[in-house]
A and B are shown apart, each in its own frame.
Chain A
């Protein structure tokens, strides 16, 4: 086999990595390189250093160590039956690229994943070596995200957590049946057991109040996972139920939803058409509402029809339109929980509203200063000088508030 140049390998192994949606570099500990001879820092919130024309943030150098793989997952471009060009980085090559990119301020750090070669342990060991070299030999203090191979040895997992900020294991598909059909070598319960093991390590590493000895550091940015949307027949209810189960069981920071995207040399076991990107967007919105706005999965799903979210409007508005009897909400009296359910009011706006109303009664124009679009909020609230009257009961309210059809042309 002809030797590939580093640039050519980079093209192959970045292309192979792009189907993983996660690029977050946030939520880690605060640290920097001051006083060390190295470089790197993480200060809590991540930084998107660039954006590609697909609208996705480029924060981390997202690479596969190799795209050779002994598994044959139908949805994956790197499955063993695919004819994509294969390549493999050496540990040193990934380390060099990471440091070169970081020093020029292109990236926040590295997100390393890999096809499975030889064995899960061997592959995991190679990834851990990259992280160890960056931290130990090069005093790199930037962000590192490592993909965990579910059935790799627990010692490797522990070492991965020592060097990495974040670890992730992909759940891949919303239902076990679909996973077994499309990814015959993967065991759903093995994936969840790996997450459970990570949760155990993360909890053990959380500093105990009052305890003097600090436990050994373990992946301070926690764990996350990814689910592919639209490669199987699962509806949004199944997807969100799966996500809620994962959040509650394994303390995940994030579940990423990745609309299945056509891949070259696709397997004939896959659907022919990708799902609308808007579906992915609606799922993220629903996920957000469940985690931060006090919504339950069945409530959110009931905003749409037949177990799927309404693609035309956001899930909070969809919920409100089906619960018009709960509105208008009195902006001067309502509890925080209810204010959070008003379409168009985010957490920040609600916090400011609560602070402001301690000092005077709020009028509609006061609310307008706190929100991006008062038109969306107006039908659902009552203020000192405003009552929506019959607005809330208008049959045409949905059409009025739905985004113009141009946006729907996205899919």
Chain B
């Protein structure tokens, strides 16, 4: 039997020096007894002391080192031998740490999470008290009782967080202090090393009591996250018993205080002007009123209604389907990728952008949520029908000579038929009852969805040809309108 005596309860390097020597000498885990400090000191302990090794004697996954550095802080005496056993077994089983079902490995996991939790609770529950010395210099002192030997590994967190403060954390087994530049460690201490109070605790207690909602009492939840063993060092914990005792009465009191007469301040308040516009007299009125639209349920999940854009009087109106993701977010039509295609083609065929009004048949974005994305959904007949009201207003105010329906939804809305075949309608002007000339073509987003380059090129050419037709019709209408204008 080999006896290994460690001087520190949580020093990974010290353990490693011994473990390297033992591995080098080929000593099996079962033949080693690990002891720390005065634990299990047996006067006549027999066994050979091996020289500790300093250099590496083999390789282990980096993960093992990381986890061992945590596990060694655990208070369970089994930690030293467990780590050696895992080290020993890994010589033959490379992937031991990947197998969470292995007994030794799952014990390691338990130790690691115990240490992590303890370290986390230290970060959470340390409470500093401020003292100011004769020279006016402030120091922050805390007493904390960790369950494991976690102070050394946790102290750098406090150094990063409270870099500009002089602080000391005292635990029963060690202490740490920070002078705004360096971190030092020293021996453990007692609770009485720390001042018994701090003036700010009055406010902290006030806050703790005020933020509590007595109507939601859930004591077991509190105790599982803030175990009772920590309470003796938490200033706010003294409030807990009376708070629980009075919770029911406080809740009853809250409910019993029924609505009272509103204070005079409230009654003096000017009522907000009602923004709903009953009488829509202009394009601007319509633009404002559409935000309150409830004609179909799409408003519930869209960000906002997206109204048309362009001059108040325009010669040509492009009508798309509905706003997409980007349009919905920005509140403007045709700002996404399809809008880019439309802009490019309008420019290419030489339509004057200043004479163009763009809008959609449906003003709210219809989609289904899929994780972090919103998937476009085609509006239904009811939604198109409901939104025709707004498109009608736009046409009435803008008075275009030519309307271009981009895609089936727009055509459906403008023609009033449910089934639309674009290939049959495109390329020919359609006379609308009020003298407007309607053209039907694809929606530009259709061009974006064609996978093969050849098909894309072909469809784009057709789209451009449709818009050339629009330009020519605009020019003709102007020519025929001009003489009568002169007369």
- Are A192 and B374 in contact, with the CB atoms below 8 A? no
Interface hits, A340-363 → B, CB 8 Å: 352-353, 355-356, 358-360, 362
Interface hits, A166-181 → B, CB 8 Å: 175-176
What total of A-B pairs shows CB separation below 8 Å?
259
Interface hits, B215-256 → A, CB 8 Å: 215-222, 225-226, 234, 236, 240, 243-244, 247, 251, 253-255
- Report which of B203, B215, B261 forms a contact with A6, defined as CB distance below 8 A: B203
Separation in Å of the B86 CB from the closest CB of chain A? 15
Whether a CB of chain A sits under 8 angstroms from the CB of B316 is: no
Which residues of the partner chain B approach A261 to less than 8 Å between Cβ atoms? 213, 215-216
Which residues of the partner chain B approach A101 to less than 8 Å between Cβ atoms? 200, 203-204, 207
- Report which of B95, B120, B372 forms a contact with A47, defined as CB distance below 8 A: B120
Which residues of the partner chain A approach B98 to less than 8 Å between Cβ atoms? 355-356, 358-359
- Are B218 and A277 in contact, with the CB atoms below 8 A? yes
- Report which of B300, B304, B374 forms a contact with A248, defined as CB distance below 8 A: B374
Which residues of the partner chain A approach B304 to less than 8 Å between Cβ atoms? 189, 192-193, 196
- Report which of A17, A37, A39, A57 forms a contact with B161, defined as CB distance below 8 A: A39
- Are B164 and A266 in contact, with the CB atoms below 8 A? no
- Are A10 and B206 in contact, with the CB atoms below 8 A? yes
Whether a CB of chain A sits under 8 angstroms from the CB of B354 is: no
Which residues of the partner chain A approach B225 to less than 8 Å between Cβ atoms? 48, 51, 55, 57
Contacts known (A38-B164, A53-B244); A83 close to B371, Cβ less than 8 A = no
Whether a CB of chain A sits under 8 angstroms from the CB of B329 is: yes
- Are B303 and A359 in contact, with the CB atoms below 8 A? no
Whether a CB of chain B sits under 8 angstroms from the CB of A195 is: yes
Which residues of the partner chain A approach B220 to less than 8 Å between Cβ atoms? 55
- Are A52 and B208 in contact, with the CB atoms below 8 A? yes
Contact flags A4-30 to B (C-beta < 8 A → 1, else 0): 001100111011011100000000000
Which residues of the partner chain A approach B23 to less than 8 Å between Cβ atoms? none
- Are A53 and B212 in contact, with the CB atoms below 8 A? yes
Whether a CB of chain A sits under 8 angstroms from the CB of B43 is: no
In the bound complex, what is the Cα–Cα distance between A103 and B162 (angstroms)?
Answer: 7
Chain B, residue nearest A368 (CB): B101
Contact flags B106-137 to A (C-beta < 8 A → 1, else 0): 10000000000000100111111110000000
- Are B206 and A192 in contact, with the CB atoms below 8 A? no
Interface hits, A244-284 → B, CB 8 Å: 244-245, 247-249, 251, 259, 261-268, 274, 277
Interface residues on B, range: 35 or more
- Are A265 and B244 in contact, with the CB atoms below 8 A? no
Whether a CB of chain B sits under 8 angstroms from the CB of A199 is: yes
Chain B, residue nearest A30 (CB): B160
In the bound complex, what is the Cα–Cα distance between A167 and B270 (angstroms)?
Answer: 30
Whether a CB of chain B sits under 8 angstroms from the CB of A208 is: no
Chain B, residue nearest A38 (CB): B164
In the bound complex, what is the Cα–Cα distance between A56 and B210 (angstroms)?
Answer: 13
Contacts known (A196-B329, A200-B330, A264-B257); A41 close to B160, Cβ less than 8 A = yes
- Are A80 and B128 in contact, with the CB atoms below 8 A? no
- Are B211 and A62 in contact, with the CB atoms below 8 A? yes
Separation in Å of the A282 CB from the closest CB of chain B? 15
- Are A196 and B254 in contact, with the CB atoms below 8 A? no
Chain B, residue nearest A252 (CB): B372
Which residues of the partner chain A approach B120 to less than 8 Å between Cβ atoms? 47
Contact flags B278-310 to A (C-beta < 8 A → 1, else 0): 000000000000010000000111111100000
Separation in Å of the B161 CB from the closest CB of chain A? 4
- Report which of B163, B240, B266 forms a contact with A38, defined as CB distance below 8 A: B163
Which residues of the partner chain B approach A14 to less than 8 Å between Cβ atoms? 206-207, 210-211
Chain A, residue nearest B106 (CB): A369
Which residues of the partner chain A approach B55 to less than 8 Å between Cβ atoms? none
In the bound complex, what is the Cα–Cα distance between A117 and B93 (angstroms)?
Answer: 68
Whether a CB of chain B sits under 8 angstroms from the CB of A302 is: no
Separation in Å of the B204 CB from the closest CB of chain A? 5
Contacts known (A81-B263, A105-B127, A199-B329); A248 close to B162, Cβ less than 8 A = no
Interface residues on A, range: 35 or more
Whether a CB of chain A sits under 8 angstroms from the CB of B485 is: no
- Are A356 and B204 in contact, with the CB atoms below 8 A? no
Whether a CB of chain A sits under 8 angstroms from the CB of B214 is: yes
In the bound complex, what is the Cα–Cα distance between A389 and B257 (angstroms)?
Answer: 58
Whether a CB of chain A sits under 8 angstroms from the CB of B439 is: no
Separation in Å of the B419 CB from the closest CB of chain A? 29
In the bound complex, what is the Cα–Cα distance between A281 and B343 (angstroms)?
Answer: 49
Whether a CB of chain A sits under 8 angstroms from the CB of B198 is: yes
Interface hits, B295-345 → A, CB 8 Å: 299-305, 325, 328-331
Whether a CB of chain A sits under 8 angstroms from the CB of B26 is: no
Whether a CB of chain B sits under 8 angstroms from the CB of A185 is: yes
- Are B164 and A139 in contact, with the CB atoms below 8 A? yes
Interface hits, A32-49 → B, CB 8 Å: 32-41, 43, 47-49
Which residues of the partner chain B approach A352 to less than 8 Å between Cβ atoms? 100-101
Whether a CB of chain B sits under 8 angstroms from the CB of A118 is: no
Separation in Å of the B359 CB from the closest CB of chain A? 18
In the bound complex, what is the Cα–Cα distance between A106 and B205 (angstroms)?
Answer: 11
- Are B212 and A54 in contact, with the CB atoms below 8 A? yes
Chain B, residue nearest A266 (CB): B259
In the bound complex, what is the Cα–Cα distance between A338 and B126 (angstroms)?
Answer: 43
Separation in Å of the A66 CB from the closest CB of chain B? 13
- Are A265 and B100 in contact, with the CB atoms below 8 A? no
Chain B, residue nearest A59 (CB): B124
Whether a CB of chain B sits under 8 angstroms from the CB of A366 is: yes
Separation in Å of the A69 CB from the closest CB of chain B? 10
- Report which of B219, B305, B369 forms a contact with A189, defined as CB distance below 8 A: B305
In the bound complex, what is the Cα–Cα distance between A20 and B142 (angstroms)?
Answer: 31
Which residues of the partner chain A approach B329 to less than 8 Å between Cβ atoms? 196, 199-200, 249
Other A-B pairs beyond A39-B165, A53-B212, A193-B331, 20, CB < 8 Å: A33-B161, A33-B163, A39-B162, A41-B161, A50-B208, A50-B236, A51-B225, A52-B222, A55-B221, A72-B266, A81-B263, A104-B198, A176-B299, A247-B372, A248-B370, A249-B329, A259-B216, A262-B255, A264-B254, A359-B98
* A/B interface sample: 30 pairs, CB < 8 A: A7-B202, A14-B206, A33-B160, A41-B160, A47-B120, A50-B234, A51-B221, A52-B243, A53-B219, A54-B213, A54-B216, A56-B216, A80-B265, A81-B266, A82-B262, A103-B128, A103-B165, A105-B126, A184-B272, A187-B291, A189-B303, A245-B367, A249-B329, A259-B216, A263-B254, A264-B257, A266-B258, A277-B218, A356-B100, A370-B100
Nearest 8 pairs of A and B residues by beta carbon: A55-B221, A55-B218, A366-B101, A248-B369, A81-B262, A352-B100, A32-B160, A14-B210
